[in-house]
Chain A
Amino acid sequence: MSDVSADSLAEIYRTTYRALVRFLYRKVWDAERAEDLAQEAFARAVVHKPENARGWLFIVAANMARDEARRAARERRHLTLLTAESREGAPASDEVFQAEQERAQMRAALEQLTPRDREVLLLWDAGLSYSEIAAHTGLAQGAVGTTLARARRRLVEAHEAGEKGEHVARG
């Protein structure tokens, strides 16, 4: 029995770990931290042996990321100011700079979505089905498509607006 759940958990780990890291990364924006939290979520799953381990993992991960965000929120405000200043002085290679800029734009666009739209979008991108997303968010399954449609449109629009703003600022 414990063997079965350990085996199936090992299988879920193999198929879901990276998606969970990706999901967490878009919440904490730190690859190492996202991996730590994903490991922690799996460690808890080993202890709790939840029935629907995959859905459970994403709920636990989302909660951990929320706690993390609250804790970091206060520090972040003035840290952002500091990095904004220091970044100008540090010339990075074009590719690194470009990739970082794209990521920053994406992050800004993603943060313009409502929390629920963002959650649904990230869960879908992590590979969860409509029914799993419905169970996770409390939405009716029929509403998941509508929410996703809105979230995708807003993401693309916010990103385009961000790009335009960037060009205006540069030009």
Chain B
Amino acid sequence: MANDILIIDDEADIRELVAGILDDEGFTTRTAGDSDSASAEIASRRPDLVFLDIWLQGSRLDGLQLLEEIKRDHASLPVVMISGHGNIETAVAAIKSGAFDFMEKPFKSERLLLVATRALAQQSAAA
């Protein structure tokens, strides 16, 4: 079962925590702090799921632009958007652009795991 998850967030705390929680549950995780390193990670090995923060501070591309790039190169790769405060509208826009789902901060571990499991299961089914 595919369980390679790439987590892209500019905040190291969140990035590491999400990765840690997923690791605890047995998923394989990688992390990236900006769009360029994320692109590099994806290029090096296609992950099975991407958690992508919409707001990427200090990055060349923001979350939505990166989403478009990912979708362009890997249309079937599920991307779950993590929305910051007060920008549900952009999260909804992301869904339209092809995101699998979105989570509004702050979110609970259960929701993170549920979304991850669902996305991977769908991915596996599709594969």
A and B: bona fide binding partners: no
Chain B interface residues toward A at CB < 8 A: none
Chain A interface residues toward B at CB < 8 A: none
